[in-house]
A and B are shown apart, each in its own frame.
Chain A
Amino acid sequence: DSGVTQTPKHLITATGQRVTLRCSPRSGDLSVYWYQQSLDQGLQFLIQYYNGEERAKGNILERFSAQQFPDLHSELNLSSLELGDSALYFCASSSRGGFQYFGAGTRLSVL
């Protein structure tokens, strides 16, 4: 158990809809990262938050947004969903030292 909790584990929705993925980092970790993993694109870094503020941005679409709350949990919002957004979405957290602990992921299926 990495100590990073992601909910829900699975999500099935339709095109055009909006979903929210939730992540609780390991106790004491201030950084939260979001990744998308699909068969054709591999593991793609989306965005990083550190203590409530956006720290780094990767290949995140404009339809996607994230935030980190004062209690350090984070949410990834995906809107106007398309079939191609179907993927595994991972959250990771880290303390100083750079290495990240990953959650088990949320599998999103857009039908």
Chain B
Amino acid sequence: AQSVTQLDSQVPVFEEAPVELRCNYSSSVSVYLFWYVQYPNQGLQLLLKYLSGSTLVKGINGFEAEFNKSQTSFHLRKPSVHISDTAEYFCAVSGGFKTIFGAGTRLFVKA
């Protein structure tokens, strides 16, 4: 069985500050890991993915995430956020045929 926990439901941050959105997972099998972003009134869009190889994954819009197998984490980071990054972010884990999504983290970027 797999599970995903996003540790923060909301993260407020000022523009140009760094941000980290935390994600922990559990799984009994090897997994693929993803971050999706959902802007208001839109569907989910793939931000980045970890399938294998380098544990530091770079995605779109300046985001990156690091896969840490020993801590079963896949935290999302951005060194300097913009107002336009305000959205909901979902961590997801895929193993076998199922993909499990976390509850989401709402990122608020303030001017």
Q: Which of B34, B36, B43, B99 has the most CB of A within 10 A?
A: B43
CA A56 to CA B104, docked complex, whole Å: 22
Q: Are B46 and A101 in contact (CB under 8 A)?
A: yes
Q: Which of B20-60 contact A (CB under 8 A)?
A: 32, 34, 36, 42-46, 49, 51
Q: Are B44 and A102 in contact (CB under 8 A)?
A: yes
Label chain B's interface by main secondary structure.
Answer: strand
Q: Are A100 and B32 in contact (CB under 8 A)?
A: no
CA A41 to CA B98, docked complex, whole Å: 19
Task: Please count how many residues in chain A sit with their CB below 8 Å of the partner chain's CB atoms.
Answer: 21
User: Is A90 among interface residues, defined by CB-CB distance under 8 A?
Assistant: yes
B45 CB contact (under 8 Å) in A48, A50, A97, A102 = A102
A99 CB contact (under 8 Å) in B43, B49, B104 = B49
Q: Are B101 and A104 in contact (CB under 8 A)?
A: no
User: Is A42 among interface residues, defined by CB-CB distance under 8 A?
Assistant: yes
User: Is A33 among interface residues, defined by CB-CB distance under 8 A?
Assistant: yes
Q: Are A45 and B43 in contact (CB under 8 A)?
A: no
User: Is A98 among interface residues, defined by CB-CB distance under 8 A?
Assistant: yes
User: Is B5 among interface residues, defined by CB-CB distance under 8 A?
Assistant: no
Residues of B within 8 A of A48 (CB): 97-98
Which residues of B are at the interface with A, using a C-beta cutoff of 8 A? 32, 34, 36, 42-46, 49, 51, 90, 94, 97-101, 103-104
Q: List 11 A-B contacts (CB under 8 A).
A: A4-B43, A42-B101, A42-B104, A50-B97, A55-B97, A56-B97, A90-B43, A92-B44, A98-B51, A103-B43, A105-B43
Which residues of A are at the interface with B, using a C-beta cutoff of 8 A? 2, 4, 33, 42-43, 45, 48, 50, 55-56, 90, 92, 97-105
